[in-house]
Amino acid sequence: MDASCLDYALTEAERREFEQNGFMVVRDVLPEDMVAELGAVVDRIDAEQRPKRGLEPHQMLNHFDFIQEHDLFLDLVDWPQTFPKVFGILGWHIQIYHTHVIVTPPLNGRMPERKRLGWHQDSGRLNLDMETSPRPRISLKVAFFLTDCSETDRGNFHAVPGSHLQNGIEMPDEDRDPDGAVPIRAAAGDAVIFDRRVWHASGQNFSPHARKVLFYGYSYRWLRPRDDMTVEHLFDRCAPIRRQLLGAGPSGGHGYTSPRDEDVPLREWLREHLGDEAVVR
């Protein structure tokens, strides 16, 4: 991993924003030509998956475990403009535990099936099995936007700022979104980084274009993957830190809870470039 990625390290202002709101927008992380190439790959995936799943043209596609489907997807695992912010928040004992791509087609004049959006926190049973209030963070996601959501009617990511600090939120009624909910404006090439606990939802897409977003979920290494993570065949092509992020565990199962140096090369890299204080926990 090139040390120049530290030019994009998490700033104190970004940390405060993330801790206060539960999310932040990072602008212009992907160049325009890469956005176009990624968008074309997502179009191919959509064209393949939609008929397999019997989805109508207006229905949302949510496709898991996509990293192995193109080299550009692999590059985003430790993308210099976003990954330093991830380890700045979670630390060095991390992995990719979940990936999915969402394509939200335009409604094309159809009425939405329901007025209230699908509000949720990520990670399913984690939100029932953990007993504390608030529950621990454990994971976050980086969402790479491949289409322009700088206006608020394009299937925008919505969130309730600060809701990651409370286990539940009040839903006024079946037709209304919760108080404080806001649409996030993200242009093509921007990324939204969000705490798994923040209450969030996808918006309705009234634009003429499909909304395309790539989601990379990062967690601590002891958490089981949320999807199949079909990536072991990529290990031989990857440098040590990328192998760590893809779930490699050279010292076996025990190394996911009590890691040795070979299990977590990110720790030594941070120590070398930032000093011992960067790896104290």
Q: Rounded to two decimals, what is the model's pTM?
A: 0.97
Q: Where are the domains of the chain?
A: 3-236
The CATH number given to 3-236 is 2.60.120.620
- Residue 28 corresponds to which tokens in the numbers above? 């212009």
- Helix, strand, coil shares, percent, the chain, to 5: 35, 20, 45
Spatial separation of the C-alpha atoms in residues 113 and 90, rounded to whole Å = 37
Sign of the CA dihedral with 125 first, then 244, 82, and 35 last = negative
Amino acid, res. 96:
I
Within its chain, how far is the Cα of 218 from the centroid? 7
Amino acid, res. 163:
S
CA nearest to 196, candidates 73, 90, 91: 90
Q: What does the pLDDT profile of the chain (281 residues) look like in tens digits?
A: 999 999 999 999 999 999 999 999 999 999 999 999 999 999 999 999 999 999 999 999 999 999 999 999 999 999 999 999 999 999 999 999 999 999 999 998 887 877 899 999 999 999 999 999 999 999 999 999 999 999 999 999 999 999 999 999 988 888 899 999 999 999 999 999 999 999 999 999 999 999 999 999 999 999 999 999 999 999 999 999 999 999 999 999 999 999 999 999 999 999 999 999 889 87
Query: 203 near 155, Cβ under 8 Å?
Result: yes
